[in-house]
C-alpha cells in the first residue's frame, strides 16, 4: 500500500512539474478561436470565425487597405470599369503559384466563379455557397488571356469590388478542387501568406509560413488556431499562457487584461450594427411615433457602458461609422428621453401597450443578447410599455425572425456585420426586400424614397456620389425609425506582450502576415 502511494505521488509530481508545456513555442502564434471552423473552402462559409483563418490562407483579386474598408490591389494589379459600370477588367499579377504548385492565371479565377455561380458547373456540388448572392450581379466571367479576367455584370453593381475583397471572393486552387472534390474543405490550397498544414478536428488548425508569398514571407513560422467555444476557458487559457491571441474578449474580462502587464489590449470599431427590428406592419409599432418612442426610451449609453462594458458605441442610424466615407457624421443618436417617449406614446394612443419581444441566446455578433434584452425590457417598462420576452436559441430564432415578424412579435433583436454600406440596407430596408421576396426586411419597413436612394447608390460607381446618396438615406431612415438603433460593436482582441505588429482590422479579419512573436 505504501509503495502504491509513493508511486502515485511520484507520477503526480512528474505531471505537475512540466510547466514548460504551458508556454507556447517561440515564433508560433496560437490563436484562440470562438468555435470550430466549418470548412477551409472560403466560398462555403459565412462566419467571421472561419474568415479569420481563411484570410491568411488565400488572397482575393483585391483586398482592404490596412485599417480601412477601402479596396486596394492584391492578386490583381489594376482594373478597369467600363462606362456603363457593367464590365470589370482585371490584370493579374505575374508568377504567383498556389500552395500546391499550380499557377494562378485567369482560367483559375474564372474557375472559382463558375464553380460558385453556375449550377451546371461540374464542381458546383462542392457547395453549398450561401453567400454567392454577393455575386448575383455577375452574368459571366471570361479569361481572354492568362493574365486578364473580365467580369460581365447584368447591371451596375457598386459593391462588387468590396465583395471581391470579402472571403467569398477569395481565389482557391482549381487543381485542389478537382482533386479533392467535396473534401476540398479539408485540403485547402490558396495563394496566401500561410499554407495549410493540418486540421485536427476540435483541436487545432495549423498553418505554416509560405516562404514564396508574393508580398513577402511572413515573420511567423506557423500559426495554430485553437477552437475554444467556452469564453471562460478562453480567458483561462489566455491567462495561463495557453494562447497568444484572443478575439471577442468578454467585456467583463477586458479590464482584467488591461491591467495585466503580460497582455496588450486592442479595440477597433467595425462595420457592425446591433438593433431591434420593429414590426412596422401591424401592432403598436406600425405607428412611427411609437417606434421613435422606443428609441427615446432606451438608455443606450447605459447599455453600452454598463451592460457591454464600453465595448461598443451608441449607434445613431443604420450605417456604422466604420464605413467612414459613407457615414453621415452629422447624425445624432436618439437621446435618452423617457418623458419625450411617454409623450409620443400618449399621442399615438399606445400608452401601456403590451409588446412581444423576441430575444436570442447567442449568435454571431449578437454580443450579450440576453442581458441586453433584459435591460431594454426594463427601460421600456419605465415608459409604460410592457415587453414580454420570448427567448430562443439562435437557429430557432432565425427560423422565426427571418420569415417576418407578422403575427408573431412586435420587436426582435438583430445584428449584422457587413463589408459594404450597401449590404444591410439593401437586404433589410427596402420594400423589395420583404421576407416573401427573399430579403431580410422582417419588419416590413417601406419607404419608396429610401428604395430609390439605395438602387441608385448601388449603381453609382463614383464613391463620392455614392456617399451623398447613402448619407441622405441615413437621415430618412433615422427619422423613420424602422429599427431601434442601439450599438456599433468595437471588436476587441487581447494578445500576449510577446506579440508585435498585431492590428485589428475594421473588416473584423485577422491578418497575421505582419505579426511577429518574440
Partner 1 sequence: MVALPFTAGKAADRGGRPSPFQLLIANRLSAAGLAILALIVTLAFLTPILPLPDPDITDPARRLLTPGADGHLLGTDHLGRDLLSRLLWGTRVSIVVGLSATLIAAIVGSLIGLTAGYAGGRTDSVLMRGIDLVMAFPYILLALGIVAVLGPGLLNALYAIAVVNIPFFARNIRGMTLGLSRREFVDAARLSGASHPAILFGDVLPNVLPTIVVTMSTTVGWMILETAGLSFLGLGAQPPQADLGSMLGEGRKLLFTAPHVSVIPGLMIFVLVMSINLVGDGIRDVLDPRLKSGALAAPGAATAVKRETVPEKPATGAVLSVEGLSTRFQTGSRVYKAVGGVDLDLAPGERVGLVGESGSGKSVTALSLLRLVPTPPGTITAGRVTIGGEDQLGASVEDLRRLRGGQVAYVFQDPLTTLHPLFTVGQQIVEALQAHQPLSRRQAEARAIELLERVQIPSAKARFEAYPHELSGGMRQRVCIAMALANDPELIIADEPTTALDVTVQAQVLKLMRGLSEAQGSAVLFITHDFGVVSELCDRVAVMYAGRIVEIGPTQDVLDTPAHPYTRKLIDCVPVLGQPERRLDAIEGLPPPVDRLPPGCAFAERCPIAEPRCRESEISLNGLSAGRAVRCIKPHGVAS
Partner 2 sequence: MWIYIGKRLIATVPILLGLSVIVFGMMALIPGDPATAILGSYATPENVERLNSQLGLDKPLVEQYFIWLGNLLQGDMGRSYALNRPVADEVFERFGATLVLAGASLILCSIFGLIAGIAAAVRQFGWTDRIVTFLVLIGISTPSFWLGLLLIMLFAVELQWLPASGMFAIYGGGGPLDLLRHLAMPAVTLAVVATAVIARLTRAAMLEVLRQDYIRTARAKGVSERRVIYRHAFKAALVSVIPVIGIQAGFVLGGAVYIETVFQWPGIGRMLVNAISTRDLLLVQGGVLVVAASYVFFNLIADVAQTIVDPRLR
Task: List the grid coordinates of 44.
Answer: 462555403
Region at 309 (left for phi over 0; alpha for psi -120 to 50; beta for the rest): left
Helix (H) or strand (E) holding 5: helix 2-17
Distance CA 454, CA 446 (A): 12
Distance CA 426, CA 457 (A): 10
What does the chain come to in residues? 518
Q: Which stretch binds partner 2 (CB under 8 A): 22-30, 169-177, 286-294, 333-341?
A: 22-30
Tell me the per-residue interface mask from 271 to 310 with partner 1, x by CB under 8 A, - otherwise: -------------------------------xx-xxx---
Task: List the grid coordinates of 337.
Answer: 428621453
Q: Which stretch binds partner 2 (CB under 8 A): 54-62, 257-265, 379-387, 397-405?
A: 397-405
Site for partner 2 in 367-396 (CB under 8 A): 393-396
Q: Which long-range contacts (CB under 8 A, 24 or more apart) does 327-332 make?
A: 327/421, 327/471, 327/474, 328/470, 328/471, 328/474, 328/475, 331/474, 331/475, 331/478
Asked if residue 464 binds partner 2 (CB under 8 A), the reply is no
CB hemisphere CA count around 385 (13 angstroms): 35
Asked if residue 375 binds partner 1 (CB under 8 A), the reply is yes
* C-alpha distances in Å from residue 407, one per residue of 356, 411, 492: 10, 11, 38
For residue 146, give every residue at least 6 positions away whose Cβ sits within 8 Å of its Cβ, in sequence order, or none: 92, 105, 106, 107
* Closer CB to partner 2, 83 or 436, in the complex: 436
* Closer CB to partner 1, 104 or 243, in the complex: 243
Q: Which stretch binds partner 2 (CB under 8 A): 123-131, 260-268, 462-470, 472-480?
A: 123-131
For residue 176, give every residue at least 6 positions away whose Cβ sits within 8 Å of its Cβ, in sequence order, or none: 98, 100, 102, 184, 187, 188, 189
> Whole-number minimum distance, CB 248 to partner 1, in Å?
12
Among 204, 281, 288, 516, binds partner 2 (CB under 8 A): 204
Site for partner 2 in 254-293 (CB under 8 A): none
**Helices (H), ranges, 93-135:** 106-117
> Whole-number minimum distance, CB 391 to partner 1, in Å?
5
Q: Which stretch binds partner 1 (CB under 8 A): 227-235, 330-338, 412-420, 470-478?
A: 227-235
Asked if residue 374 binds partner 1 (CB under 8 A), the reply is yes
* Closer CB to partner 1, 34 or 453, in the complex: 34
* Closer CB to partner 2, 46 or 87, in the complex: 46
DSSP character string of 354-400: EEEEEEES--TT--SHHHHHHHHHHHHHHTT-EEEEEEE-HHHHHHH
Binding site for partner 1 (CB under 8 A): 231-232, 235-236, 239, 250, 252-253, 255-256, 302-303, 305-307, 359, 361, 370-371, 373-375, 377-378, 389, 391-393, 396
Binding site for partner 2 (CB under 8 A): 14-16, 18-19, 21-22, 24-25, 28, 30, 38-39, 44, 46-47, 127-128, 130-131, 133, 182, 185-186, 201-204, 206, 222, 224, 226-230, 232-233, 236-237, 239-242, 363-365, 393-396, 398-400, 402-403, 415-416, 435-436, 438-440
Amino acid at each position: 500500500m505504501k509503495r502504491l502511494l509513493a508511486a502515485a505521488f511520484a507520477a503526480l509530481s512528474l505531471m505537475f512539474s512540466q510547466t514548460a508545456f504551458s508556454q507556447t513555442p517561440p515564433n508560433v502564434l496560437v490563436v484562440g478561436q470562438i468555435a470550430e471552423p466549418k470548412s477551409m473552402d472560403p466560398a462555403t462559409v459565412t462566419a467571421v470565425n472561419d474568415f479569420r483563418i481563411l484570410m491568411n490562407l488565400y488572397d482575393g483579386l483585391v483586398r482592404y487597405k490596412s485599417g480601412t474598408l477601402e479596396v486596394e490591389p492584391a492578386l490583381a494589379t489594376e482594373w478597369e470599369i467600363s462606362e456603363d459600370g457593367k464590365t470589370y477588367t482585371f490584370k493579374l499579377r505575374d508568377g504567383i503559384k498556389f500552395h500546391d504548385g499550380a499557377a494562378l492565371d485567369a482560367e483559375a479565377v474564372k474557375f472559382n466563379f463558375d464553380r460558385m455561380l453556375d449550377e451546371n458547373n461540374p464542381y458546383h456540388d462542392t457547395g453549398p455557397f450561401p453567400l454567392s448572392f454577393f455575386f448575383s450581379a455577375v452574368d459571366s466571367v471570361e479569361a481572354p488571356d492568362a493574365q486578364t479576367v473580365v467580369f460581365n455584370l447584368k447591371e451596375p453593381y457598386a459593391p462588387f469590388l468590396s465583395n471581391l475583397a470579402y472571403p467569398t471572393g477569395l481565389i482557391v486552387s482549381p487543381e485542389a478542387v478537382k482533386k479533392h472534390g467535396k473534401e476540398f474543405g479539408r485540403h485547402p490550397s490558396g495563394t496566401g501568406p500561410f499554407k495549410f498544414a493540418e486540421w485536427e478536428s476540435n483541436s487545432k488548425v495549423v498553418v505554416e509560413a509560405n516562404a514564396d508569398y508574393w508580398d513577402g514571407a511572413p515573420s511567423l513560422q506557423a500559426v495554430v488556431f485553437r477552437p475554444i467555444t467556452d469564453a471562460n476557458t478562453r480567458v483561462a487559457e489566455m491567462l495561463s499562457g495557453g494562447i497568444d491571441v484572443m478575439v471577442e474578449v468578454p467585456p467583463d474580462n477586458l479590464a482584467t487584461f488591461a491591467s495585466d502587464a503580460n497582455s496588450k489590449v486592442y479595440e477597433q470599431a467595425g462595420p457592425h450594427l446591433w438593433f431591434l427590428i420593429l414590426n412596422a406592419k401591424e401592432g403598436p409599432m406600425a405607428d412611427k411615433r411609437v417606434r421613435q418612442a422606443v428609441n427615446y426610451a432606451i438608455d443606450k449609453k447605459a447599455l453600452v457602458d454598463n451592460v457591454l462594458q464600453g465595448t461598443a458605441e451608441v449607434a445613431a442610424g443604420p450605417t456604422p461609422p466604420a464605413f467612414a466615407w459613407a457615414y453621415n457624421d452629422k447624425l445624432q443618436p436618439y437621446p435618452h428621453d423617457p418623458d419625450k417617449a411617454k409623450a409620443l406614446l400618449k399621442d399615438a394612443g399606445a400608452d401601456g401597450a403590451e409588446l412581444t419581444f423576441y430575444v436570442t441566446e447567442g449568435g454571431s455578433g449578437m454580443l450579450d443578447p440576453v442581458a441586453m434584452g433584459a435591460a431594454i425590457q426594463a427601460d421600456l417598462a419605465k415608459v409604460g410599455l410592457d415587453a414580454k420576452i420570448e427567448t430562443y436559441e439562435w437557429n430557432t430564432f432565425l427560423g422565426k425572425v427571418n420569415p417576418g415578424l407578422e403575427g408573431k412579435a412586435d420587436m426582435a433583436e438583430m445584428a449584422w456585420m457587413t463589408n459594404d454600406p450597401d449590404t444591410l440596407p439593401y437586404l433589410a430596408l427596402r420594400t423589395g426586400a420583404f421576407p416573401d421576396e427573399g430579403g431580410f426586411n422582417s419588419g416590413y419597413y417601406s419607404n419608396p424614397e429610401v428604395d430609390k436612394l439605395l438602387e441608385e447608390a448601388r449603381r453609382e460607381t463614383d464613391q463620392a456620389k455614392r456617399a451623398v446618396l447613402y448619407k441622405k438615406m441615413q437621415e430618412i431612415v433615422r427619422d423613420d425609425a424602422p429599427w431601434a438603433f442601439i450599438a456599433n460593436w468595437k471588436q476587441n482582441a487581447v494578445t500576449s506582450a510577446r506579440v508585435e505588429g498585431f492590428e485589428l482590422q475594421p473588416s473584423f479579419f485577422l491578418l497575421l502576415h505582419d505579426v511577429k512573436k518574440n
